[in-house]
Structure 1
Amino acid sequence: MSMALTDQSFFEALAGAVCTPTDGADRVSLYLKAETSDFIRFNRGAVRQATHVSQGYATLAVVAGARRIETTLALCGRADEDCADLLAERAGLVALLADVPEDPYLLLPDEVSSSHRHERGALPAPEALVGAVTAAARGLDFVGFYAGGPVVRAFADSRGQRHWHHVESFHIDWCLYQQADKAVKTSYAATHWDAAEFARRVAAGAARLPLLALAPRQLEPGAYRAYFTPAAMAELLDTLSWGGFGALARRTGTSSLSRLEHRDAQMNGGVMLDEDTAGGIAPAFTAEGFAKPASVSLVHAGLAAGTLNSPRSARQYGLAANGANAEESPESLRLAGGTLAESEVLAALGTGLYVSNLWYLNYSDRQACRMTGMTRFACFWVEDGQLVAPLPVMRFDDSVLRMLGEGLVALTAQTELIPESGTYQERQLSSVTTPGALVEGWRLTL
């Protein structure tokens, strides 16, 4: 029988057939990743490409003692055929188990737990989305990409564990081009579509287009007062996540936050960073069946707190596993907001840089948590609280420990959830929630 790949009944049919006790294995598990998504590309405010994708992949694993082996199959959505394929794969995996070496760092959940999150959104029909873009972008060179629909993650095993995660969300980002590479980039992501909010964001970007036609303000290398939008902050926090919060990186001395860990540096007392699973859109369980805590404190009041502990690091270092992925990178990172009202950002900045976007970020000195990268799109020079001129593309090189430490002036009270927009192979469920930040002494190098 053909069923929607994102239906819970479809997953239960697979789990019921495959996740049963079988000779030669102590444990059988099944992990499902599925989605039904609309993808629409726009160019000059008109549809360039429209695609509808329904896909599902099941990862089947069998365990005997300290031996584990897995395989991943693409699913067709016909439960009888998919069950037959998975059962055949299970038999093949069990036959191979004796040839698999024992894994001294294998750790699997002992507790039999279950969870259920099934959230329906209010997403635009493709026709309504096209109408909203056409109306809001009239007269503008609008180039954008929309992705939306339900995404599912689910886990089951032969001990009775059942985890279900279904969210319906969308993400659309776009550029309004003034000419050549001069553009204002904006995005809008949520679980409930609001055409008026989308139109407001397009109009706000369009209002800044005339500024891009002005002569750029040439700046000398040096230290500047700067305001970073949530989009720019998300780029910094994404880079900080490359080993910054993981137990393995901390124990091996390769973490960019080692100085914070050893109290050789500290951030501003208002900096509170958490892996906020309860507030994000990522599932509250892992592909191995570990349940995630609602929150893991990573930086508390400017000081290093906990770490993200994958099962392998937990086994190796005698830690408690806390639902981290194999890379020990956050999936629902949240920087708490501060007290600066969004309406007062330009006045608080006074004279300095308004940084809309950053890109090409990397570490220039990992041990010092020093990053380098480029400004991107509509970044502006501000005088007396007014945007007065665009900035040319500039390179920065500065320590995030300094930027969020003695350099931090204020965080905005309002935070924004910024989902991972990549769609390679599948839509992602990781996100960063962050306020904007006002920083003193941001260092431009050229």
Structure 2
Amino acid sequence: MTAEIVRTGAELELAARVIELVREVAGPAAEAEVTVRHDAEALTRFANSAIHQNVAEATTTIRLRLHLDGRSASSSTTVVEPAGLRGLVERTVTAARLSPPDTTWPGLTRPAPLHGSAGHHGSGPRSGLDFGFDEATARATPAERAERVRDFVRAADGLETAGYCRTTYTSAAFANSAGQAVEGRTAEAAMDGIARLNGDDGVARLAGGRLAGLDGAALGARAAAKARAAQGPIELPPGRYEVVLEPEAVADLLDNFAVFGFNGKAFAQKQSFAELEAEQFDPAVTIVDEPLGSRSEPAAGLPFDVEGTPRESLVLVRDGVTKAVAHDRASAADAGTASTGHASPTSRSWGPMATHMRLEAAPAATEPEVPPAGPDSPIAESARPLVSRMERGLLITDFWYTRVLDQKALIITGLTRNGVWLIENGQLVAPVSNMRFTQSYPQALAPGAIRGIGSESILLPDRWSGTRYAAPALHLASWNLTGNASG
């Protein structure tokens, strides 16, 4: 079963039909915005080194938000027939009339072209259908995903393996009663797998806009090398250690920065560490939210948000200076600024969040030359130059089960996972048992705290639906390990 590609313009026609129904049922004074979104996901899962599940799901969801007589309500449906659309409108109008006054209603997005669609002219819908969309990925078959799984399992060379290969396709349109009408589509492929030996796991992950860019054999070999190198771990005492974090661990930093730090609602409520124009990070740090992709990678997200605001790259931190936080129309109104295109169905409750953050890699010329790694090295290629500089510290693959202890300072506690090694004089000395840490993430990246950044940002699969982060390896002066995971 392959994903069905929705006819161009189909979602926009549905959205326009709902807007007309709103005018018919509620009158011309009603302010309405409609998002029609078709999501198709196909997943090939494997465990015990064999595929055990192939599933595919496709859903079209219509979401209506309505503001009528100073009151607001929203509702959604997956029934696209005329009776379903009318039912959606009628129950949303009824809900709005029964709701309390909404004094924070930010108004509707005015008609505006999508960024990157400079060729558009006239008053018709602005199209985002040309943002590097890879149709081959959207139409990927189970056999194509199974090829990547087969290559992963074979490359693990007898180790027990588990994981998934996934392809997704989204096409969507937005229309509102103020005349904004936009559409776009995106596709993604991702692979996440482990290799296991004597209870120790090695992991390898990768995401991208093209299934053709996923090399199952390379990922399987990397996971197996980590599992083999993790045998016979030693325990180290708690304390502050110099560390090299591989991209998987760095993605957890970006995830928590997005949810709790660069969140416009948290910023407005003074629950965020972010201070605009302050030098809060090491000068080596530049963080950008890139929903439209990069020069080498197709768009990761849709080119507009659920309020119809066009999206573009947003620089959150430049050369260590905090420059922006993510806003929807409500948080932007509170802050006296403009929306950055980060509205979501939950952003008025949880706040707007950046979902495609990239920590910029360092220029390759800044890294020392190191000899090629052997096939059994557990060190990610992007981390090897950083490890070669470390006198004594830890190489950490991944974090998990991270929880916030202090949101304002963004103090996080969590566990290491999927491989930790002691490094002395640039050489791997011994595997280390997993440890608990308690660390302020902004403090770990503060001025003077970064000793090196890898030369390549690696795209990693989402931890939550709709998010994807690109991260290089990071060499940090200090990381606070507070206990051994065994007790």
Letter in 1 for 2:454: T
Cross-structure match for 1:324: 342
Cross-structure match for 1:8: 8
Pairs within 5 Å for 1:281-300: 281-292=300-311, 294-300=312-318
| Partners of 1:6 and 1:36 within 8 A in 2 | no
- Structure 2 vs 1, CA of residues 404 and 421 (structure 1 numbering), >3 Å: closer, same or farther? closer
Letter in 2 for 1:378: G
Cross-structure match for 2:37: 33
TM-score, with structure 2 as normaliser: 0.81
Pairs within 5 Å for 1:409-424: 409-422=451-464
Structure 2 regions of 5+ residues with no counterpart? 113-125, 294-298, 368-381
SS of 2:147's equivalent? helix
Following superposition, the deviation at residue 144 of structure 1 comes to 0.5
From the two aligned structures, give the one with the greater strand fraction: 1
1:228 aligns with 2:245: yes
Letter in 1 for 2:340: N
1:19 aligns with 2:35: no
CA RMSD of the aligned region, Å?
2.5
TM-score, with structure 1 as normaliser: 0.88
Cross-structure match for 1:100: 99
Following superposition, the deviation at residue 50 of structure 1 comes to 1.3
CA distance in 1, matches of 2:229, 2:174: 51
Cross-structure match for 1:371: 412
Following superposition, the deviation at residue 269 of structure 1 comes to 0.9
CA distance in 2, matches of 1:217, 1:158: 64
The number of equivalent residue pairs is: 428
Letter in 1 for 2:426: G
Q: Percent identity?
A: 22
Cross-structure match for 1:344: 385
**Runs of 4+ off more than 6 Å:** none
Following superposition, the deviation at residue 432 of structure 1 comes to 1.4
Structure 1 residue corresponding to 2:144, chosen from 128, 135, 144: 128
CA distance in 2, matches of 1:408, 1:92: 54
* Deviation readout 1:241-299 (Å, 9 max, x if unpaired): 23211333223221133xx5595x6311121122223325122222122223x122222
Letter in 2 for 1:125: T
Cross-structure match for 1:78: none
* Deviation readout 1:288-346 (Å, 9 max, x if unpaired): 22223x12222222122222222222233433222223122111222111235435233
Following superposition, the deviation at residue 52 of structure 1 comes to 1.6
- Structure 2 vs 1, CA of residues 62 and 101 (structure 1 numbering), >3 Å: closer, same or farther? same
CA distance in 1, matches of 2:466, 2:9: 22
Letter in 2 for 1:189: A
CA distance in 1, matches of 2:194, 2:284: 33
| Partners of 1:272 and 1:300 within 8 A in 2 | yes
1:51 aligns with 2:27: no
Structure 2 residue corresponding to 1:335, chosen from 359, 370, 380: 359
Letter in 1 for 2:246: T
1:393 aligns with 2:434: yes
* Deviation readout 1:67-113 (Å, 9 max, x if unpaired): 332211013xxxxx623310232234335544333311101334213
CA distance in 1, matches of 2:319, 2:34: 40
| Partners of 1:14 and 1:83 within 8 A in 2 | no
CA distance in 2, matches of 1:415, 1:33: 30
| Partners of 1:38 and 1:53 within 8 A in 2 | yes
CA distance in 2, matches of 1:144, 1:112: 44
- Structure 2 vs 1, CA of residues 430 and 115 (structure 1 numbering), >3 Å: closer, same or farther? farther
Structure 1 regions of 5+ residues with no counterpart? 76-80, 423-427
SS of 2:60's equivalent? strand
| Partners of 1:109 and 1:290 within 8 A in 2 | no
Following superposition, the deviation at residue 439 of structure 1 comes to 0.6
SS of 2:352's equivalent? coil
Cross-structure match for 1:237: 254
| Partners of 1:108 and 1:288 within 8 A in 2 | no
| Partners of 2:421 and 2:431 within 8 A in 1 | yes
